[in-house]
């Protein structure tokens, strides 16, 4: 019979897999590049956190106490994931500007008339 920590690790890993599956479905369903960037950016960070908690639980129950060196991995992933997303979006905007394609409106501009 599996122990409680094994069940917790399995549930965390299953949740991470479900998050990755939802992100993959988002890539298929969303119509253009700028909208597609949201699904994997958010899901990769959440999935990485779930796997990190599973790893901490697993190695802390198997080892000689609380194993916190795994936090270094998630800190690195939490910094580099969003930065990579921003760089990809900026590169896509730059390419669209050079091609003369219409760009999405900047943040803070109203595209609809306010309702009274």
pLDDT digits (tens, 9 = 90+) for 14-56: 999 999 999 999 888 888 888 888 888 888 889 999 999 999 9
Is residue 105 assigned to a domain? no
Give the Cα separation of 29 and 24 in Å (integer). 9
Two structure tokens written together for 59: 């190695």
> How is residue 70 annotated by DSSP?
T
pLDDT > 70? residue 111: no
Within a domain: 18:
yes
Total domain count, the chain:
1
Say yes or no to pLDDT of 114 above 60: no
Q: Is residue 61 part of a domain?
A: yes
Which residue range is the domain that position 14 belongs to?
A: 4-99
Is 90 contained in some domain? yes
Say whether pLDDT at 9 is over 90: yes
Q: Does 23 reside within a domain?
A: yes
Q: Write out pLDDT tens, residues 75-103.
A: 998 888 888 888 998 998 889 888 888 77
Return the closest-CA partner of residue 62 out of 74, 52, 54: 54
Q: Is residue 114 part of a domain?
A: no
**Closest by Cα among 48, 55, 56 to 75:** 48
Asked whether residue 110 is assigned to any structural domain, the reply reads no
Residue 56: inside a domain, yes or no?
A: yes
């Amino acid at each position: 019979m599996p122990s409680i920590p094994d069940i917790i690790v399995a549930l965390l890993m299953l949740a991470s897999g479900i998050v990755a599956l939802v992100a993959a479905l988002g890539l298929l369903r969303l119509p253009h590049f700028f909208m597609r960037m949201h699904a994997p950016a958010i899901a990769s960070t959440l999935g990485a956190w779930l796997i990190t908690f599973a790893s901490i639980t697993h190695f802390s129950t198997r080892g000689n106490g609380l194993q916190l060196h795994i936090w270094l991995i998630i800190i690195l992933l939490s910094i580099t994931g969003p930065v990579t997303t921003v760089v990809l979006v900026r590169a896509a905007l730059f390419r669209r500007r050079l091609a003369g394609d219409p760009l999405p409106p900047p943040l803070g501009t109203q595209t609809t008339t306010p309702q009274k």
